[in-house]
């Protein structure tokens, strides 16, 4: 497969550059044109990516807004409506719950304007000019709607309106802010209350601590140095009563609402379950001596895609890369000095407060010894019914000093409210990202990182060979008497005492190991994420990158791609659990010779779900056997003890990052943080393994009824925007099937040579999301899907000459010389 991928890449590169020579001749006149003030040159390459050349930053960002609108206007409109809580006016009652939540937790236009007014002057100019560019295209499109408005506008009878900076910042909050949100503390409280009912307080505490450890020292970290970095975090001693049985009903209702919100948000194209991986390599670990950066933002597969690629070239800036749609800055890319990427940080930035209500007035809560009136706000929603008529719906929202009330039972006198540590600073974070694009060195990038208030991991590599890692975000100083995994009493006794200094967040420059890897794992040994602690354990998917990077003596971009290929197709449970299975099989083969064939298949398997012979089945029966075995392990290990709670907790225990609780139980006393509860109940690890295997083999024999050679699993496939085909309003999707891969929605590989950045990327499904009124798609709507499926890439065009050599079209935008 490595040879195949390498040949594909080399052939593609040769064809790419040789065929473009003819196109370059056709563009000879264009490359000598002088770009004047007010005129912007936009060059589209072979994949429709716009490379924008302007003489002023005002014109540059206006043009950026214009081309984004031209390619993805319907996406922009839907994301703006999503943040406004104004979707059900078009798509009906199904989206009313989504709209209500966005209005409840969101901001008024006045509040958004105030955030913009607090931005630095340059950020204000950028956000204003980007909005002007979008508006310029909207005006043109409304004059020629049949030609310039994509099919969705006609299908849903929507006429786009002009944009302002408020809309641009809303679009940022429609995605970045929402996927930073969670209500896990309340779910944890309900879990503990349920366990108390089942097992009593002592056993319940042991079980809860095993599932949600305060800290797991065995968890792999991105910072692997012996020295601790960042401030020492405390975990809270939990001496305050923070749970009650009222949490059970509240959590059930909020969980149901959250599921509905996530479903409708997905249909709107807003990714809530995000991931992302990254690997930066310093000069000592690099084959060429040049620093390198790889990134794979995991934000779902939709058509149009959530990523937008662009090249920006103007006074003081030359940058190329991708960003979430509608962001006027680049999140994943490179300037001529450095490359950068990011991943979700999953830090503890949200707290749920349990409010004590006045028995005589459920709209008053106790705060610092007094009954305080909740703030009341009435919102009106327009909801389209099945006949197309619009009805008005009123909803009353309440707010405490902590934030919006997310649950209120007036009869039972129960209420919960929510606080975000980055609340009101979204504009500051927006500006910080913009600052990274204009940074010139590591120190300036680092300064921008410290101004970003939301939880991400930022990665940096420059042409001097330096690499840097920064866990960014603003975190509150919490009361140490609390258990941070559970809701906080809202009486005023346990308030945040300001915020920690972001300069003390985990960070590392030029680590001795020569690289930094991250796949949403723990940043450093001393860092915790409280209620989300189940995500950070010994069994974590980032180990795939760490193991392979450590194993390699030196790395180049192709080898980094091989590492990503392996991590994308590997069965994650094989890292720790396959050796246990093989050891147990070895011990039992003499007793049961029929297990020898199972053992050989598993031993010879490379742990990857590959289809190298293109027969639409994974190549090894080991895939089928191992998956069937593992499907039984968590239940056999945990279900009896968890009882009715097992169903709700299964996804928390055995999740997409790993099953660290299972590994700790298997390791027993050898685990760095041994479990407190006796999960095995007198059984041995080997008994659980064999019981699970026999169950699997019995089922497989029934299903296949034949030779084990034929126990092959059909290749699992997906599509871009599969749910969009069921009427999702963010776009119309694509029905081209591709193999399921645990991979970034986009991949970028950049080497920072002394001459500047070089590299390759893939940004499926395609650059342009425009579908004509008659249903015909743009040539660059889905032209990168098959490349993505086949692990093919396109060169990233950093230099003007690269762009000239690969020009597909050139056009000019004219802007007034004065605003």
Quick one: which of 116, 127, 122, 120 has its CA closest to 62? 127
List CB contacts of 269: < 8 A, sequence separation 6 or more.
75, 78, 79, 302, 304, 306, 721, 724, 728, 730, 731
List CB contacts of 780: < 8 A, sequence separation 6 or more.
47, 48, 766, 767, 768
Other Cβ atoms closer than 10 A to 143: 9
Quick one: which of 302, 320, 332 has its CA closest to 75? 302
Quick one: which of 656, 531, 681, 529 has its CA closest to 211? 531
d(CA 735, CA 714): 19
- Residues annotated as catalytic are 276
Strand runs labelled E in 233-281 = 277-281
DSSP state of 714: B
Cis peptide bond upstream of 364, omega within 30: no
DSSP state of 487: P
Question: Do residues 354 and 487 touch, judged by C-beta distance below 8 A?
Answer: yes
Question: Do residues 538 and 671 touch, judged by C-beta distance below 8 A?
Answer: yes
d(CA 505, CA 485): 20
d(CA 306, CA 268): 11
Question: Do residues 310 and 52 touch, judged by C-beta distance below 8 A?
Answer: yes
Strand runs labelled E in 652-754 = 717-718, 738-739, 747-753
For the chain, how far is it from start to end, CA to CA, in angstroms? 55
Judge residue 19's burial from the number of C-beta atoms within 10 Å of its C-beta, 0-12 exposed, 13-18 middle, 19 or more buried. Answer: exposed
List CB contacts of 167: < 8 A, sequence separation 6 or more.
80, 131, 134
3-state secondary structure of 339: strand
d(CA 401, CA 410): 19
3-state secondary structure of 27: coil
Other Cβ atoms closer than 10 A to 347: 25
List CB contacts of 163: < 8 A, sequence separation 6 or more.
65, 76, 80, 131, 132, 134, 135, 138
Question: Do residues 645 and 708 touch, judged by C-beta distance below 8 A?
Answer: no
The residues with which 307 forms a beta bridge, in sequence order, are 324
Torsion of CA 736, 738, 743, 749, to 10 degrees: -70
- Could you tell me how many residues make up the chain? 819
d(CA 233, CA 175): 29
Quick one: which of 88, 40, 73 has its CA closest to 813? 40
Question: Do residues 30 and 807 touch, judged by C-beta distance below 8 A?
Answer: yes
Question: Do residues 404 and 350 touch, judged by C-beta distance below 8 A?
Answer: no
DSSP state of 33: P
d(CA 105, CA 97): 12
d(CA 281, CA 283): 7
d(CA 324, CA 308): 6
What would you measure as the largest C-alpha separation in the chain, in angstroms?
A: 87
């Amino acid at each position: 497969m490595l040879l195949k991928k390498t040949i594909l890449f080399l052939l593609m590169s040769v064809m790419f550059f040789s065929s473009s020579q003819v196109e370059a001749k056709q563009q000879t006149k264009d490359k000598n044109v002088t770009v004047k003030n007010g005129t912007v040159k936009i060059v589209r390459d072979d994949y429709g990516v716009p490379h924008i050349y302007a003489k002023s930053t005002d014109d540059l960002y206006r043009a950026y807004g214009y081309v984004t609108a031209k390619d993805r206007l319907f996406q922009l409109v839907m994301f703006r409506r999503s943040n406004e809580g104004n979707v059900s006016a078009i798509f009906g009652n199904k989206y009313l719950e989504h709209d209500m939540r966005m209005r409840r937790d969101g901001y008024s236009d006045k509040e958004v304007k105030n955030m913009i007014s607090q931005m630095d002057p340059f950020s204000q100019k950028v956000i204003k000019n980007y909005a002007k560019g979008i508006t310029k295209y909207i005006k043109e499109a409304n004059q020629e709607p049949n030609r310039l408005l994509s099919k969705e506008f006609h299908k849903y009878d929507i006429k786009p309106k002009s944009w302002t900076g408020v809309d641009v910042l809303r679009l940022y909050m429609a995605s970045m802010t929402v996927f930073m949100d969670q209500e896990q503390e309340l779910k944890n409280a309900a879990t503990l209350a349920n366990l108390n009912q089942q097992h009593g307080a002592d056993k319940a505490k042991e079980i809860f601590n095993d599932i949600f450890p305060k800290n797991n020292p065995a968890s792999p970290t991105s910072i692997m140095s012996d020295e601790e970095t960042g401030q020492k975090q405390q975990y809270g001693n939990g001496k305050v009563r923070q749970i009650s049985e009222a949490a059970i009903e509240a959590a059930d209702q909020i969980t149901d609402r959250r599921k509905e919100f996530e479903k409708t948000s997905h249909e709107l194209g807003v990714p809530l379950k995000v991931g992302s991986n990254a690997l930066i390599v310093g000069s000592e670990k690099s084959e060429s001596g040049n620093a390198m950066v790889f990134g794979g933002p995991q934000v779902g597969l939709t058509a149009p895609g959530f990523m937008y690629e662009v090249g920006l070239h103007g006074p003081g800036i030359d940058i190329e890369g991708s960003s979430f749609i509608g962001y006027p800055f680049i999140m994943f890319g490179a300037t001529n000095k450095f490359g950068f990427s990011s991943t979700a940080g999953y830090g503890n930035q949200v707290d749920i407060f349990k409010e004590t209500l006045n028995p005589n007035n459920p709209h008053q809560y106790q705060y610092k010894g007094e009954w305080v009136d909740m703030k009341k706000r009435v919102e009106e929603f327009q909801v389209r019914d099945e006949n197309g008529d619009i009805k008005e719906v009123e909803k009353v929202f309440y707010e405490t000093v902590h934030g919006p009330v997310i649950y209120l039972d007036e009869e039972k006198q129960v209420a919960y409210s929510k606080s975000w540590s980055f609340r009101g600073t979204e504009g500051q974070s927006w500006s910080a990202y913009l600052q990274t694009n204009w940074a010139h060195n590591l120190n300036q990038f680092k300064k921008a990182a410290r101004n970003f208030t939301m939880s991400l991991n930022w990665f940096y590599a420059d042409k001097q060979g330096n690499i840097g890692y920064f866990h960014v975000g603003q975190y509150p100083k919490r009361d140490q008497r609390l258990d941070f995994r559970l809701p906080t009493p809202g009486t005023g006794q346990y308030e945040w005492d300001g915020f920690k200094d972001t300069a003390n967040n985990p960070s590392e420059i030029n680590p001795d190991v020569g690289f930094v890897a991250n796949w949403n794992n723990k940043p450093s040994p001393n860092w915790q994420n409280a209620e989300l602690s189940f995500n950070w354990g010994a069994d974590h998917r980032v180990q795939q990158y760490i193991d392979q990077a450590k194993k390699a003596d030196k790395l180049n971009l192709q080898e980094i791609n091989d590492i990503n290929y392996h991590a994308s197709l590997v069965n994650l449970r094989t890292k720790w659990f396959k050796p246990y299975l093989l050891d147990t099989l070895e011990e039992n083969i003499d007793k049961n010779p029929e297990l020898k064939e199972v053992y050989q298949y598993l031993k010879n398997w490379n742990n990857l779900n590959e289809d190298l012979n293109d027969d639409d089945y994974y190549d090894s029966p080991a895939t089928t056997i191992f998956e069937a075995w593992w499907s039984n392990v968590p239940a056999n290990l945990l279900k009896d003890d968890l009882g009715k709670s097992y169903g709700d907790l299964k996804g928390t225990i055995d999740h997409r990052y790993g099953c660290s609780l299972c590994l700790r139980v298997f390791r027993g006393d050898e685990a760095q943080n041994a479990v407190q509860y006796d999960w095995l109940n007198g059984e041995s690890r080997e008994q659980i393994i064999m019981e699970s295997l026999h169950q699997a083999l019995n089922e497989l024999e029934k299903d296949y009824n034949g030779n084990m050679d034929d126990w092959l699993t059909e290749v699992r496939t997906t599509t871009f925007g599969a749910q969009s085909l069921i009427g999702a309003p963010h776009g119309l999707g694509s029905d081209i099937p591709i193999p399921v891969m645990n991979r970034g929605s986009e991949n970028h590989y950049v080497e920072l040579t002394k001459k500047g950045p070089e590299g390759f990327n893939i940004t499926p499904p395609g650059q342009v999301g425009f579908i004509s009124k008659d249903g015909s798609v743009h040539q660059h709507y889905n032209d990168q899907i098959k490349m993505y499926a086949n692990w093919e890439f396109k060169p990233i065009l950093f230099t003007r000459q690269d762009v000239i050599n690969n020009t597909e079209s050139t056009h000019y935008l004219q802007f007034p010389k004065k605003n």
